[in-house]
Amino acid sequence: MPSIRSLLPKLAAAYPAISFTPGTRFAWSPDTHTVYYDEAANNPELLLHELAHGILGHHDYSKDVELVAMESQAWDKALELSATFAVVIGNDMVQDSLDTYREWLHARSTCPNCEATGYQSGKDTYSCIACTHTWRVNEARICALRRYKTK
């Protein structure tokens, strides 16, 4: 599998509208059209995943379910890219990543009062139909929530 270092010039040449910048973790910044990558973690799968967010034009989202959908779309696109750039993306990695977001969504949407599943009533609020309780959740940023596995 190619290293991030050998992959970067190829990705930059193929996607000149997107910048690649070393950072403390893998992330896509829609505001600056930049993919950040962690040089210390040689993880070409995550590099392709973040690039996929960029290619798909992922920006802001108003509902948490949209974020989960974007994560799924980004992995589908990353799998497409993986064939072109000779990167192997294991299904376990994709499922683990998506599970993290699904668990996150479940935790946010579970009513702290009665444990029924609530609905998102605002950017940072959920409401429960069962007991009418309303609760606030923290702001979530795209791709900031994943627990990265070290290899």
The contact set with Zn ion (CB under 5 A) reads 71, 74, 111, 113-114, 116, 128, 130-131, 133, 143
State which residue, 83 or 116, has the beta carbon closest to Zn ion.
Answer: 116
8 Å CB contact between 130 and 114: yes
Please, what is the minimum distance in Å from the beta carbon of residue 95 to Zn ion?
14
Please, what is the minimum distance in Å from the beta carbon of residue 13 to Zn ion?
23
State which residue, 94 or 111, has the beta carbon closest to Zn ion.
Answer: 111
Supply the DSSP string of 92-134, one letter for each residue. Answer: HHHHHHHHHHHHHHHHHHB-TTT--B-EEEETTEEE-TTT--E
State which residue, 75 or 85, has the beta carbon closest to Zn ion.
Answer: 75
Q: Which three-class secondary structure state does DSSP give residue 28?
A: strand
Please, what is the minimum distance in Å from the beta carbon of residue 5 to Zn ion?
22
Q: What distances in angstroms separate CA 71 from CA 40, 117, 124, 127, 128, one per listed residue?
A: 23, 21, 19, 24, 26
State which residue, 19 or 110, has the beta carbon closest to Zn ion.
Answer: 110
Please, what is the minimum distance in Å from the beta carbon of residue 33 to Zn ion?
15
